[in-house]
Structure 1
Amino acid sequence: MALEIAERLGLAVWVKDLKAARSLGRFGNIHYVSKRLKYVFLYVDGKKANQLIYRIERMPFVTRVDRSLRRELATEFHKPMNTTSN
């Protein structure tokens, strides 16, 4: 029995009202809420991401939704060659 891990996508949801932002928990897992900058970072199912983003954008208290760019970042780093000049 193999356990499959669901692909997750991080979303930064910019909101007008933080109280109303609590309702975003029904779309995914709320990871962080910034009171000062008024955004919520949540993780959603990667397979349903486009559908969920469309639904979230249509909510009256949401100003903008940004996808996480973590997948596009290089995660393999190479040690630089020792270039000491004498």
Structure 2
Amino acid sequence: MEIKERVGIAVYLYYNRDARKLSKFGDVLYHSRRFNYLILYINRDDQKTVVSKLKQMKIIKKVKPSAFDDIDRSFVGNLGNHREESVI
């Protein structure tokens, strides 16, 4: 069994009642009813096709891909440097 890479996408909606329609594109991880958005997990291979389909739908205000891959996740040694700067 091969593990497929997944990507998170933030989908902003006009109305919360349309959130159920998006479950066919991927896994709905979180749905904020207050701010009218949801986090959708999809396969990385299907990302371009799914995002283009979502942008064409009239029920969707905006689609933003996750910035998790752009964040530097090497935290080794960063905490010690921060403490020295705050003491000075």
Q: TM-score, normalised by structure 1?
A: 0.87
Match of 2:22 among 5, 24, 27: 24
Structure 1 stretches of 4+ moved >6 Å: none
Q: Which has the higher helix share?
A: 2
Output the aligned Cα RMSD.
1.9
Task: List aligned pairs for 1:61-80, cutoff 5 A.
Answer: 61-79=59-77, 80=80
CA offsets 1:46-74 (integer angstroms, 9 cap, x no match): 00100000001111110000000001111
State the TM-score, normalized to the length of structure 2: 0.85
- What is the aligned residue count? 83
**Percent identity of the aligned residues?**
27
Q: Which structure 1 segments of 5+ residues have no match?
A: none
Distance of 1:24 and 1:64 partners within structure 2:
13
Structure 2 residue matching 1:77: 3-state secondary structure: coil
